[in-house]
Amino acid sequence: MPPRKAQESSVRYKAESKTPFDIKERTFLFGVRVVKLVERLPRNIAGAEIGRQLIRAGTSVGANVEEAQSGESKRDFVHKIGIAAKEAREARYWLRIVKATSLTIINWKL
């Protein structure tokens, strides 16, 4: 049997940029960026509480998109995508709080 070729990544990128447009990959990368950001928030009460909320909302976006892929019906899929959208809005809210309060972010590089 001949050796198998290594499979190429299923992530597709826009021709003009290196940005993936696959929703599962984009939401996964968003979750990764949220985790990296929260790791750089100050270690005080505000940083801890906002970070906790942001981690929950930011990482659940991708989790809900993944879960929607195995929806039992179109209605179930739409419902789970709707939950992902709600979590994305919540994550945006917490990101706005971080920006508006100028929480000092340690070693800010994403």
pLDDT tens profile 9-53:
455 545 455 666 799 999 999 999 999 999 999 999 999 999 999
Cross-strand bridge partners of residue 20 = 13
Cα 38 off chain centre by:
12
Helix/strand/coil for 22: coil
- For 28: left if phi > 0, alpha if psi spans -120 to 50, otherwise beta; the answer is alpha
In the predicted structure, residue 74 carries a pLDDT above the cut 70: yes
Q: How far is it, in rounded angstroms, from Cα 39 to Cα 42?
A: 8
Question: How do the domains of the chain map onto residue ranges?
Answer: 23-100
Q: Which CATH architecture has domain 23-100?
A: Up-down Bundle (1.20)
Residue 21, CB-side half-sphere exposure with 13 Å CA sphere: 6
- Categorize the per-residue pLDDT at 7 as very low, low, confident or very high, splitting at 50, 70 and 90: very low
pTM of the model: 0.75
